[in-house]
Amino acid sequence: MKASIRLSLAALLLVSGSIACQAQQVQPAQQKIQPVAQSLTKEQQAALDKQDQDIAQVASSIIKMIDQNKAAEVWDAASPIAKQIISREDFTKKVAHDRSPLGTPGVRMPMGVKHYRYDGSGNMPAGAYINVVFDTQFSQAAQSSREMVTFILDSDNMWRFVGYSVH
């Protein structure tokens, strides 16, 4: 599984770098988080849509690994920025702590892919990010939860995993 995730990430990263450079727009520094909005040609929009589909599939694979208690392997393939933010041990503990009271996942619905730019003034490093959100019903939770997998455009123009959260 680990090799297939890395291959999937590698393929996605190679394709996404040039698309992201065309589609991302620098946002004003006075705002912390800005959705990326820009007019694209039909070809650019089609390429961006394909990239979003690919990254959503990778996000789904990451969540399935977390379902299988393989958070440490997810961290191993993460961006160097993620590894600076949280240690492998702390990441696996946080995921286990956040997920254990919820029980086992049942129905999981993709809710979309959003592109953002952070200016670096908060607790996230400056850069371009993609959030993939899932609405998930867990066996021990009365209401569905939102799972979010976050990717960052690294300095080599490749999208890499940088975070997971569930609320």
Which tokens in the block code for residue 51? 């990239």
Stated pTM of the model: 0.78
Q: pLDDT by residue (tens digit) across 23-75?
A: 333 333 334 555 555 688 999 999 999 999 999 999 999 999 999 999 999 99
The tens digit of pLDDT for each residue in 87-134 reads 999 999 999 999 999 999 999 999 999 999 999 888 788 999 999 999
Which pLDDT value is given to residue 55?
97
- The full set of domains in the chain, from first to last, is 2-166 (3.10.450.100)
Q: Which residue has the tokens 């520094």?
A: 29
For residues 85 and 69, is the Cβ–Cβ distance under 8 A? no
pLDDT at 140 over 60: yes
Tell me the one-letter amino acid at 88: R
| Phi and psi torsions of 86, nearest 5° | -145, 140
The torsion angles phi and psi of 130, rounded to 5 degrees, stand at -125, 130
Where do runs of H (alpha helix) occur along the chain? Answer: 2-23, 42-67, 71-76, 80-85, 88-99
Quote the CA–CA distance of 150 and 102 in Å, as a whole number.
21
